[in-house]
Amino acid sequence: MSGVEIQSFKVDAEYKSFKPARGSGGNARVRGGASGRTASVRGTGRGRGGGAARGGGGSTGMTRGRGPAAVQETIVLMYNKRKGLVTTHADELGRTTVYDDLAASLPPHLKRERWHAVGRLDADTTGLLLMTNDGTLVHHATQPGTKLPKSYLAVCAGPLCDHHVESLRAGVELSGGLGRSGEAVVEVLEHHHASSLLRITITEGKNRQIRRMLEAVGSQVMRLERVAVGRIEMDSQLEPGAWRMLTNAEVKRGLDYEPKTL
């Protein structure tokens, strides 16, 4: 199987578990916030936030200069989203958001940033969620013309026949009036009587798209985790709720975007 490396998953005999295999760790671990969760942090060696000047007038971000022309350094975090969190700044139902969860483990100089998720994950989907203080990067990564690939591991109900897999690859009619899905890369990693494990890569970002695609071929998602955005693969050593900072080189290569620097 060519392309990006696929994380190893273990599906138990009843196909109820969906756990990434963990490798040996080399990252520093720190405790953050009142939650006491462990955040895995890897810096860039550029001392981000350590002594950078901040603009006045209540601006949030590491800036240089004054007024509208001030330059803000691009910061991107790889965050491992836990199940049950919503990707919104404020939830009308009072549910915990990814921003609440992230803030609990951020050091003070990063808490002052205004964070934006690069795309969304629904509450039941786990895995890779990139967070940045750079609105231009969010626009670049999420606009349809960029066609940034996103890869997911999905455990779906029942076996999928070859016809269903080909339909997913070619495009299916999505519920909710969302039209047809575009072409997708679909790899069948495991095939069982009660479930199948797929890796699905899409370049669109329609609401609950993977779930709707599988529903269109008569199946249903049992577990769903995003494992890659662009050329950025989820770090298998990040526990749920943990994060690490991406280097500028990772951002440039992985997202085809030139980070802003001071």
Q: How many other CB atoms are there within 10 angstroms of residue 143's CB atom?
A: 11
Closest to 82 in 3D by CA, of 245, 246, 220, 239: 239
* 127 exposure class (CB count in 10 Å sphere: 0-12, 13-18, 19+): buried
Phi first, then psi: give them for residue 235, nearest 5 degrees. -75, 115
CA 252, distance to chain mean position in Å, is 17
- Which two three-digit tokens encode residue 139? 């626009």
**Catalytic site residues?**
122
- Which two three-digit tokens encode residue 89? 């700044």
3-state SS class at 69: helix
CA distance 213 to 85: 22
Assess contact for 234 and 80: CB atoms under 8 A. Answer: yes
Closest to 243 in 3D by CA, of 121, 90, 128, 87: 128
Q: How many other CB atoms are there within 10 angstroms of residue 94's CB atom?
A: 7
- Which two three-digit tokens encode residue 125? 């989907």
Which residue bears the tokens 């004054």?
A: 66
Sign of CA pseudo-dihedral 108, 93, 239, 61 = negative
